[in-house]
Amino acid sequence: MISRYSLPEMEKIWSEESKFEKWLAIELAVCDAWAELGRIPLAAVQRIKAKVRLDLNRIKEIEKTTRHDILAFVRGINETLGADSKFIHLGLTSSDVKDTALALQMRDAVDLIINDLGRLNKVLAAQAVEYKETIMVGRTHGVHAEPVTWGLKLAIWYQEVKRHLARMKGVRETINTGQFSGAVGSYASLDPRIEELVCRKLGLEPAVISNQILQRDRHADLLNNLALIAASLEKFTTEIRNLQRTDILEVEEGFRKGQQGSSAMPHKKNPIVCERISGLARVVRSYVIPGLENIALWHERDLTHSSVERIIIPDSTILVNYMINKFRLVLDELVINKDKMRDNLERTHGLVFSQHVMLALINKGLTREKAYQLAQCGALKAWDQALSYQEVIKGDPEINQYLSTEEIRNIFDYNIFLKELDYIYGKLDLSGKNGEEGA
């Protein structure tokens, strides 16, 4: 992934240095395990650890000849070991090292994303409480419907991110798996105890069964869940982008001192970060299909998955890490235009209360069809003639047979839409005490 969309901590996980360091850690752990089983002299392992060196440039130079990255790596470190080099990579096949190292990298990346989601949810929880009663119009089909609150939107997002946290914890268990079973997975050249010893040392679960590689449904599971996170972030940012439109302008991305919105139009303040996140979500989603296609390989393995994974797994985790952190900053700097929310809410002259007029008439004994017809008739008149819906209802002689002036006044009270917020919020845990939400 290009550096523009990479944050340092995640970028380091997927660096060449990190990969080779994990390969070396695995090779040394295998030596330890062989020594524990009496196959390698302990003194040899101690000499290996004291002398071994990683020279990335030398490894890359060797790979030009071998055209095989693991062989180049093994030869590169063996050049520093002398006679003890015979104990390196003993009984292993390339995928034992590469798949297990990839599992370690994926685990580190998932841990970082879990932490990112927790920090995001801490912001969402705080703002959901802060804006709990910040009333605004709710829209269905893009058309004014009934009032909601900005806090309610954020509470919905909070609960969605909470589900992502739960899913990512499950994915972490799935991908936290190593294997050391040799060529085709038969343990013909490896004692099965090596797998158990090395995986325990690395904090991994040994694969219950494998062929030459770890099965790729695990990796597809990770990619699917990263795509879900990206889709939610696109949903959140699309809402902000829509609400920042000039004709709505209920929220706005922060606009920092010295920032410029357009090379041509000096007045422009655009939701550029939300647009960037929405665009990057398309990239993350695009990696799901190749991840699924990597599951079906020939026989005990082929190499078609390898080149794909070098791109899609690092890139998707790097992008999601970047997107979550950028969105959290958007929320931190977001401008909430409460007056504009109220102005927009009142643009339809009270039509948002039409359902409550209908329900009041039903409560007086009218059929639903009759109550709907009376409420709609008044609503259409108010809209067509730009009149107050409340005044139209008050002036309707048929409605006056059922509803008093005081009852009508009580219907047109925005507190109707706030009265159940305590019930809604009561179903949520916004305290930050539930898992990593408050991390």
Residues labelled as active-site residues: 141, 262
Rounded Cα distance, 250 and 166, in Å: 32
Query: Closest Cα partner for 279 from 230, 225, 345, 246?
Result: 230
In the numeric block, which tokens belong to residue 280?
């990057």
Give the type of residue at 300: E
The residue written with tokens 């390898």 in the block is 306
Residue 373 burial (C-beta neighbours within 10 Å; 0-12, 13-18, 19+): middle
DSSP tag of 263: S
Residues 6+ apart with CB under 8 A from 140: none
Write the DSSP string, 345-403.
HGGGTTGGGHHHHHHHHHHTT--HHHHHHHHHHHHHHHHHHT--HHHHHHT-HHHHTT-
Give strand pairing partners of 251. Answer: 336
Residues 6+ apart with CB under 8 A from 105: 13, 14, 18, 19, 22, 313, 314
Rounded Cα distance, 363 and 196, in Å: 70
The residue written with tokens 């523009």 in the block is 4
The residue written with tokens 């499950």 in the block is 170
Which run of H or of E encompasses 199?
helix 192-202
Name the E strands within 33-183: 135-140, 143-149, 177-178
Name the E strands within 84-209: 135-140, 143-149, 177-178, 205-206
